[in-house]
Amino acid sequence: MCLMTVNSYWHNLLPARQYIKTGDNIFAGMELPGMIKKNVSLHMHSSSNLLSIGGNNYQDLIIKPGSALPVAAKPGMLDLQFKLFGLIPIHHMLVDVVSPVKVIPGGQSIGVLLHSEGVMVVGEAAIDQGGKKIFPAREAGISVGDLILKLNGKEVTGENQLQNLIDKCGRQGKDVNLLVKHGNEVKNLRINPILCDETGRYRVGLFVKDSAAGVGTITFYDPDSRVYGALGHIITDYSGKSIINPRDGKIVEASIKGLHPGKKGEPGEKLGVFKGKSDIIGDISKNTKYGIFGELEKGLKNPIYGKPVAVALTYQVKRGPAQILTVLDDNKIQSFDIEIAQVLPGNQSKGLVLQVTDPELIQRTGGIIQGMSGSPILQDGKLVGAVTHVFINDPTRGYGVLAENMLKEANLINIEQLQKKAG
C-alpha cells in the first residue's frame, strides 16, 4: 500500500514534462515534501553537460536524498528517474531547459481575414424539393474549404451578395458559372440553381463565409523575427466543429468604435471596423488551439510596453493580481486589473481561470467580451498568457491560455532544437 501511495503521489502531482529556464534549479516551481526528499534518489541524464553543481558541469548525476540539487547551466533536455530507496522506479520526467525568451506584448485590435478574396465554402446545406434532398454544388464538384471567387464574371465579395446573385439567376432561368479555387487549382463550374421549397429562394446547397472572421487582439510579437501570436484560440467553421485552413489569410488594423457590454447569459462584444486589404499588417500561417500565428509586415508600437518583456514559463505563473492589455476606444491600448484565480497546467488551451476586478472595465464592458480574445495577460512584468473565453453565466470570469503554449506554437520556444541537442 505504501508503494502504491508514493506512486500515486508522483503521477498525480508531478508533470511528465516540465519547462525551466537556464539558471533555474531543476525543480523550479515544484514543491517536494520532506518525506519524499528523504527517501528518493534522482538519476539524471542530460544533453551536453547541462547539470551544474558547485561550478562544475555534468552530463549524468545521481543525487542522493538530502543532497544539493543541480541547476540547469545551458539549454537542452534532461531525463529524470525517481527511485525509492535508490532502487524502485516510481516516476519518470523530462525537463526541457530553454533560454529566457522576451517578446513585446500586444493589445492592438486586429481584424482577421481568412482569405484575401472571395468567400469560403464552410459547409453544405441540402435543398428540399418535393421531399427530396438535393446538393447541386456538391454534384458540380465544390467541396468544403473551396473559395468562390467569381459568379458569371462578377467578383464575389460577401455571402449575402452571392446568395442574391444565385437567386436572381435562378429566377431568370439561368445557370451560374462559378470561378472556384480548390487548393492551388482554379476552375470554372456551371450549376443550375434549384428552388428551395423551405426558403422560397433559388440555391445551390452551400454554406459560405465572408473573409472576415471578426475582431481579435494581438498577444505578442517578436521584434527580431516579426513573428506574432493572437486570439489564443482556434478559428473554426460555422458549426464550430471543423478547423478553417487560413491559406492566404491576413490580419489587418482594426479600430474599436463601440462596445456591447456582456450580461449573464449574453456575451458582449467589441464593435470594430477595418477596411480590409488596404490595412494588412501581417499574414496567417497557422490556425491552432493556441491561436493564430504568422509574420508581421512591420513592427507594432505599444505605448505601455515599448521594450520586450520576459515570457513566464508555466511554473512561474501564480494565483493573484495581474493585468490585461486591450483596446476599448479606437486604437488606444489600456491596462486593466484582473485576478488569476486558478492555474491549470494540465489544461493546455484553458490553463488560466480569470476574474476581472477593474471597476472601469466592468462598468464599460461587463467584464470579458468578444474581441478581447488574445489580450495579453501580464503578471510581475512578465507575459503569462492571453484571454480566450468568457463564462456565459458570469462575464467577469473567463479562461486564458498560458503564454508558454503560445510561444511553443510560434516556435519561439523551439522543441526540435532541444531534441537535436539531446541526441
Whether residue 255 lies in the annotated active site? no
DSSP letter assigned to residue 248: T
Q: Which three three-digit cell numbers place residue 49?
A: 553537460
- 270's CB contacts (< 8 A; 6+ apart) are 109, 215, 256, 258, 259, 260, 327, 328, 369, 370, 371, 372
Whether residue 233 lies in the annotated active site? yes
What's the N-to-C CA distance of the chain in angstroms? Answer: 38
Residue with cell 474581441: 371
Report residue 384: phi and psi, to 5°: -110, -20
**109, 358, 375, 389: the active-site residue:** 358
- Write out the H or E segment, with its range, that includes residue 163: helix 159-171
Name which of 110, 112, 109 is nearest 211 in CA terms: 112
**283, 373, 375, 389: the active-site residue:** 373
**233, 255, 283, 389: the active-site residue:** 233
Whether residue 43 lies in the annotated active site? no
Per DSSP, the three-state class of 409 is helix
Region of 131 (left: φ > 0; alpha: ψ -120 to 50; beta: rest) is left
Burial of 224 (0-12, 13-18, 19+ CB in 10 A): exposed
**Alpha-carbon distances, residue 177 vs 165, 201, 206 (angstroms):** 11, 18, 15
Catalytic residues: 233, 358, 373
